[in-house]
Chain A
Amino acid sequence: MRYKFPSSRGSSPGAALGTGMQTFVQHLIDGIALGSIYALIALGYTLVYGILRLINFAHGDIFMVGAFIGLFAAQALHAGADPTPLKFGLVMLAAMGGCALLGFLVERLAYRPLQQAPRINLLITAVGVSLLLENLGQVVFGPNPKFFPDLLPHTVLFSFGGAAVSNHQAVVLGTSLVLMVGLEWLVLKTRLGLAMRALSHSHETASLMGIPTGLVIAFTFCVGSALAAAAGILVGVSYPRVDPLMGILPGIKAFVAAVLGGIGNIRGAVVGGLILGLSEEMVSGYFSSTYRDALAFGILIAILLLKPEGLFGRNEVEKV
Chain B
Amino acid sequence: MKRNLVPLLLILAASLACQGLAQVLPPYVAAILMLAGINAVLAVSLNVVTGLSGQFSLGHAGFMAIGAYVSAAVTTPQVDALRLAGLCSSPAEAQALFALSLLLAALAAGAAGTLVGLPSLRLKGDYLAIVTLGFGEIIRIVILNINCVGGARGLSGVPGYSSAFAVALVLFASVWLIHRFVGSSQGRALLAIREDEIAASGLGISATRYKVGAFVASSALAGVAGGLFAHYLCYLNPSSFGFMKSVEIVIMVVLGGMGSISGSALAALLLTLLPEALRPLQQWTGLDLRMVLYSLMLIALMLLRPQGLFGTREVWQWLPGRKRGEDGRG
Contact A304–B130 (Cβ < 8 Å): yes
Query: Which A residues are in CB contact (< 8 Å) with B205?
Result: none
Contact A305–B198 (Cβ < 8 Å): no
For residue B271, give the distance in angstroms from its CB to the closest CB of chain A.
Answer: 13
Q: Would you give 15 A-B contacts (Cβ < 8 Å), ordered by A?
A: A2-B239, A110-B299, A114-B306, A117-B306, A123-B129, A127-B298, A131-B291, A135-B294, A259-B127, A259-B130, A298-B134, A300-B131, A301-B135, A304-B123, A304-B131
Query: Which A residues are in CB contact (< 8 Å) with B303?
Result: 110, 113-114, 125
User: Contacts A301-B131, A304-B120 hold; do A131 and B289 have CB atoms under 8 A apart?
Assistant: no
Query: Which A residues are in CB contact (< 8 Å) with B295?
Result: 128-129, 131-132, 134-135
Tell me whether A1 is interfacial, beta carbon within 8 Å. yes
Query: Which A residues are in CB contact (< 8 Å) with B198?
Result: 318, 320
Mask of A103-136 contacts with B, CB within 8 angstroms, 1/0: 0000000100110011111011101110110111
For chain A, the count of residues having a C-beta within 8 Å of the partner chain is 43
Mask of B266-310 contacts with A, CB within 8 angstroms, 1/0: 000000000000000000000111011011101100110010000
**Choice from A110, A136, A290, A305 contacting B145 with Cβ under 8 Å:** A290
Tell me whether B56 is interfacial, beta carbon within 8 Å. yes
Contact B239–A55 (Cβ < 8 Å): no
User: Contacts A301-B134, A304-B120 hold; do A125 and B291 have CB atoms under 8 A apart?
Assistant: no
Contact A121–B292 (Cβ < 8 Å): no
Tell me whether A294 is interfacial, beta carbon within 8 Å. yes
Residues on A close to B: CB < 8 A? Answer: 1-2, 53-55, 110, 113-114, 117-121, 123-125, 127-129, 131-132, 134-136, 138-139, 248, 252, 255, 259, 290-291, 293-294, 297-298, 300-301, 304-305, 308, 318, 320
Query: Which B residues are in CB contact (< 8 Å) with A53?
Result: 126
Query: Which A residues are in CB contact (< 8 Å) with B327?
Result: none
Nearest residue, chain B, Cβ from A130: B295
User: Contacts A1-B242, A255-B130, A308-B123 hold; do A121 and B306 have CB atoms under 8 A apart?
Assistant: yes
For residue B67, give the distance in angstroms from its CB to the closest CB of chain A.
Answer: 20
Nearest residue, chain B, Cβ from A245: B244
Nearest residue, chain A, Cβ from B125: A119
Contact B250–A290 (Cβ < 8 Å): no
Tell me whether B254 is interfacial, beta carbon within 8 Å. yes
**Choice from A123, A135, A297 contacting B125 with Cβ under 8 Å:** A123
Contact A124–B250 (Cβ < 8 Å): yes
Stretch at the interface among B7-15, B39-47, B136-144, B168-176: B136-144
Instruction: State in angstroms the CA–CA spacing of A114 and B299 once bound together.
Output: 11
For residue B228, give the distance in angstroms from its CB to the closest CB of chain A.
Answer: 24
For residue B146, give the distance in angstroms from its CB to the closest CB of chain A.
Answer: 12
Contact A139–B292 (Cβ < 8 Å): yes
Instruction: State in angstroms the CA–CA spacing of A118 and B307 once bound together.
Output: 10
Contact A127–B250 (Cβ < 8 Å): yes
Tell me whether B133 is interfacial, beta carbon within 8 Å. yes
Contact A290–B144 (Cβ < 8 Å): yes
Contacts A1-B140, A128-B299 given; 10 further ones with Cβ under 8 A?
Answer: A110-B299, A128-B298, A135-B295, A138-B291, A293-B141, A300-B130, A300-B131, A304-B131, A305-B122, A308-B127
Contact B298–A136 (Cβ < 8 Å): no
Nearest residue, chain B, Cβ from A292: B141
Tell me whether B20 is interfacial, beta carbon within 8 Å. no
Query: Which B residues are in CB contact (< 8 Å) with A318?
Result: 198
Instruction: State in angstroms the CA–CA spacing of A139 and B294 once bound together.
Output: 14
Query: Which A residues are in CB contact (< 8 Å) with B239?
Result: 2
5 interchain residue pairs of minimum CB distance = A131-B295, A297-B134, A128-B298, A132-B295, A135-B291
Instruction: State in angstroms the CA–CA spacing of A297 and B62 once bound together.
Output: 14
Query: Which B residues are in CB contact (< 8 Å) with A259?
Result: 127, 130
Query: Which A residues are in CB contact (< 8 Å) with B120?
Result: 301, 304-305
Nearest residue, chain B, Cβ from A135: B291
